[in-house]
Amino acid sequence: MTPRKAHPLPGHRPSRSFARSWTVVAIAAASALALAGCSSSDGADKEPAADAKPQLSVTGAYMPEPVTKDMGGGFLTIANKGGADKLTSVTTESAKSAGLHETVDQKMKMVKAFDIPAGGALKLERGGNHIMFHDLTELPKKGDKIAVELHFEKSAPIKAELDVKAPTYNPHSH
């Protein structure tokens, strides 16, 4: 079972003849969700294998317009069609430093790396984990682009551009 196949959303109404299989898919999806919540280490029975070569692609990279040059947050999604990898650092010429920050219970903390699960995705979203930029060279304005290079444990570095969005931009809000 791969995440690709589990697509059901509560809003979609199944037709009668599909009701049974729908329930089965829902159960599968529910257990997949529960699984994702509880275990991060068992890649053994997943496809692709955890030791397969990671295949990464970066989408939806943005930075909400920061308040001051002192700091800004970066958000993006790294999809992975291959084996597990880790985002280990971010470099940029637009700031003095860029770090990886996790948010747990309204607290932010530097971390050494973010896991990119095999056949899954690393999602950095508002309210959660993010890239923390310190001492930006210039105050980014909406419409600007911030060039970054993402470094990984296994994969070769990937160049990406963060689109600077409005301070209130949040693609995941309701």
Partner 1 sequence: MRKKTALAVTALFAAATLSLSACGTGGAESDQPVADVSAEAQDKAATVLDRPFEKPDLVLKDTKGKEFDLRERTKGKPVLMYFGYTHCPDVCPLTMSNIADAKRRLAQKLPKDELAELQVVFVTTDPERDTPAELGKWLKAQDPSFIGLTGDFPTIQASARTLGISIDAPKKEKDGSVTSMHGKQVIAFSPKSDAGYVLYNGEEATADDYVKDLPKIIKGENP
Binding-site ranges for partner 1 (CB under 8 A): 8, 10, 13-14, 16, 19, 22-23, 26-27, 29-31, 33-34, 36-38, 64, 66-68, 70-73, 101, 103-110, 126-127, 130, 132-133, 166-168, 170, 173-174
Q: Which two tokens stand for residue 122?
A: 């690393």
Kindly tell me which of 54 and 65 has the beta carbon lying closer to partner 1: 65
Nearer to partner 1, 13 or 159 (CB): 13
Quick one: 2 or 31, whose CB is closer to partner 1?
A: 31
**Least distance (Å) between residue 27 CB and partner 1:** 6
Shortest distance in whole angstroms from residue 173 CB to partner 1: 5
- Cβ(29)–Cβ(1) under 8 Å? no
Task: Considering the complex, state which of residue 52 and residue 139 has its C-beta at the smaller distance from partner 1.
Answer: 139
Q: Distance (Å, rounded) from C-alpha 171 to C-alpha 75?
A: 10
Min separation Cβ 156 and partner 1, Å: 27
